[in-house]
Amino acid sequence: MTMEEKTMKCERVYEGRIINVRVDTVELPDKKYSKREIVEHPGAVGIVPITSNKEIVLVKQFRKPVEGVLLEIPAGKIESEEEPAICAVRELEEETGFKTDNIQQLLKFYTTPGFSNEIIYIYIAEDLKEGTINPDEDENIETIKIPIEEALEKIKSGEIEDAKTIVGILSYLNLYDK
């Protein structure tokens, strides 16, 4: 049995700076119709930067949608036509001031496939060298370095509560050949 939902109509309801929103009318496998609200996003990268002492570099940033300061791995959205790996190297330096040539994609995932196509590519960055911090004009970012075990504790305690950061730390610990 196919599970596919055929698009019968597609209505764009919002065009923005980072996201667009559309409502698709779909035909379900049983031929009934339903509506799907879809947030279109260009995709993003998240970087797990690991120092020679096995510390992870994290950034603190105010996130308006949740009205709070979150502790996250460095990240940023992909500019049009940009390779995710190039984007990762760029965002790492812009947000943390660290440069590297040693970057490896670990996995990719959909943040919330029920209502958005956003995909995030997770990279491990090692052999970090000093570069130049240069955040976007509307970004206010603080950087911290903590042992990777402490980052795991912060997931357990609820101090880290961002999906890409939890995925990045746990997949570094479980899936990456160190």
Q: Contact residues for its own copies (CB under 8 A)?
A: 1, 3-5, 13-14, 16-19, 21, 23-24, 26, 28-29, 32, 34-39, 41, 44, 60-66, 69-70, 72, 75, 77, 107-120, 137-138, 140, 142, 152, 155-156, 158, 161-164, 166-167, 170-171, 173-175
- For residue 53, the SS3 value is coil
Angle, CA of 37, 113 and 29, to the nearest 5°: 70
Question: Cβ of residue 12: shortest distance to its own copies, in angstroms?
Answer: 10
**Identity of the residue numbered 90:** R
**Residue 129 Cβ, how far from its own copies at the closest point, in Å?**
27
Of 174, 42, 15, nearest to 107 by C-alpha is 174
Which helix (H) or strand (E) segment holds residue 32: the answer is none
Give me the least distance between CB of 26 and its own copies, in Å please. 6
Any idea what DSSP says for residue 107? E
- Region class of 159: left (phi > 0), else alpha (psi between -120 and 50), else beta: alpha
Question: What is the C-alpha separation between 145 and 143, in angstroms, rounded?
Answer: 7
Q: Which listed residue (137, 150, 153, 161) is catalytic?
A: 137
Burial class for 131, CB neighbours closer than 10 Å (0-12, 13-18, 19+): middle
> Which lies closer to its own copies via its Cβ, residue 86 or residue 107?
107
Q: Closer CB to its own copies, residue 88 or residue 120?
A: 120
Q: Is 153 a catalytic residue?
A: no
Nearer to its own copies, 127 or 170 (CB): 170
- For its own copies, the closer of residues 28 and 86 by Cβ is 28
Minimal distance in Å, beta carbon 16 to its own copies?
5
- Annotated catalytic sites, by residue? 137
